[in-house]
Amino acid sequence: MTGRGQASAGDLLELVRSGRATTRGALQQATGLSRATVGQRLERLFRAGWLREGAGGPVDSPLGGRPSITLEFDDEHAVVLAADLDTRHARAAVLTLTGEILAEHGGTPVIEDGPDAVLGELGRWFAELLEKAGRPAEAVCGIGLAVPGPVDSETGRVVQPPIMPGWDGYDIRGRLGRAFTEHTGGPAVPVLVDNDANLMAYGEQRTGYPDCSAFVLVKVSTGIGAGVVVGGSIFRGIDGGAGDIGHIRVGADALCRCGSYGCLAAVASGGAVARRLAEAGVPAASGSDVRDLLAAGHPEALGLAREAGRQVGDVLATVVTLLNPGVLMIAGDLAGTAFLTGVRELLYQRALPRSTAHLDVVTSRLGERAGLVGAGALVVEYLYAPERVEERLLALGV
């Protein structure tokens, strides 16, 4: 926030959205602005439709008087579109600005078909979902997309993704934006792209562990990746490569899809377990096939999942020692009892007791919706950041 007495309308909106100040009096106290200035800046937010008055709060003065009118972020003035791509399936949804899913759809576009076809399909899904949710395209304020590869957050382009052939450097933002407009007739809107594990971590941390200042999510599906949320923000590294633990070398001689030998993903991912099952005569081609076998209690799948969990747990001992998180969440196709048991075996054996003394090792709460919720939240936090609020208010002429 800018200094006391200089707070903008965007700063006031941030205080209301976070719950730190939800009355006019509290906003004056928090910002040092006069009553008239607070009123003027709030009026802009009311005219934009971003704030509304709620019920009266408690009377603060011992002398009594009328209760203060509370202020609330109006989450009904717009919606967000979100999509979560995996190698062999995808999900898309319409969400409110507070993360409630109004309509969703799942399907099986193959990421190897390339970005033009896959993103065009998402545009068709978006049109159908808006109709299902009963919201016009003009109500969409932005689109969030989760992809299974490293993303340069400045450009929204994936960078040398091992399991996304044909996507390297592609203009995802531009193509998805055009697909939205072509299929819905809606205006151009911002499109944000991030790694799927990052957005899963963001969604899970915000909804289930908002007070956890260091949160790690590990997604084990066709590949392996981790999302890290520190201080409420996604930690991406300098160019989006943070969390790519699937390509840590573990000493094996298996060939990875990235072209190197001995990567963790080559021996412990859902794809690696599927390959070993297929070699043993069990029909399995992907992490989702392994998930189905695990759900059915297939003994060989359970054994291999536990072994994979031990291999991942060995690497996570270093991750936990380095980051000292409060929560380590296991998600993805292999995130079941067998895999989690293997992770815990090696993690607690290899990590220092101090590193795990206050660590909760858990599985996903949001399940397949985690990436959607995180993608939606990414868009909302981008659009309603104080500095961007000012730009948008000026564009609206308020």
The DSSP-derived string for 284-350 is --SHHHHHHHHHTT-HHHHHHHHHHHHHHHHHHHHHHHHH--SEEEEESTT-SHHHHHHHHHHHHHH
CB contact at 8 A, 75 and 51: no
Query: pLDDT category, 17, cuts 50, 70, 90?
Result: very high
Residue 4: predicted pLDDT: 53
Q: What are the φ and ψ backbone dihedral angles of 366, each rounded to 5 degrees?
A: -90, -15
Q: Which helix (H) or strand (E) holds 381?
A: helix 370-383
Residue 56: predicted pLDDT: 62
Q: Give the range with max mean pLDDT: 44-58, 63-77, 106-120.
A: 106-120
pLDDT per residue over 345-365, tens digit each?
A: 999 999 989 999 999 999 999
Query: With 60 as the cut, is the pLDDT of residue 214 above it?
Result: yes
Query: With 70 as the cut, is the pLDDT of residue 372 above it?
Result: yes
pLDDT per residue over 273-297, tens digit each?
A: 999 999 999 999 889 899 999 999 9
Q: Which two tokens stand for residue 272?
A: 């690696």
DSSP-based three-state secondary structure for 394 = helix
pLDDT per residue over 190-199, tens digit each?
A: 999 999 999 9
Residue 291: predicted pLDDT: 94
Burial environment of residue 339 by CB neighbours within 10 A (0 to 12, 13 to 18, 19 or more): buried
Query: CA 236 to CA 162: how far, in whole Å?
Result: 18
Average pLDDT of 326-333? 96
Average pLDDT of 41-66? 76
More confident residue, 286 or 95: 95
Query: With 70 as the cut, is the pLDDT of residue 238 above it?
Result: yes
Tell me the residue ranges of DSSP E strands in the chain.
Answer: 51-56, 69-73, 79-85, 90-95, 101-107, 140-147, 151-152, 157-158, 191-195, 214-220, 224-230, 233-234, 327-331, 360-363
Residue 63: predicted pLDDT: 47
Q: What are the φ and ψ backbone dihedral angles of 371, each rounded to 5 degrees?
A: -65, -35
Residue recorded with tokens 């790694």: 195
DSSP 8-state assignment for residue 249: B
Residue 212: predicted pLDDT: 97
Rounded to an integer, what is the distance from CA 319 to the centroid of its chain?
A: 20
CB contact at 8 A, 91 and 108: no
Residue 118: predicted pLDDT: 95
pTM, two decimal places: 0.92
Which residues lie closer than 8 Å to 273 by C-beta, 6 or more apart?
284, 287, 290, 301, 304, 305, 308, 334
Query: With 80 as the cut, is the pLDDT of residue 23 above it?
Result: yes
Instruction: Give residue 111's identity as a one-letter amino acid code.
Output: I
For residue 16, what are the β-bridge partners? none
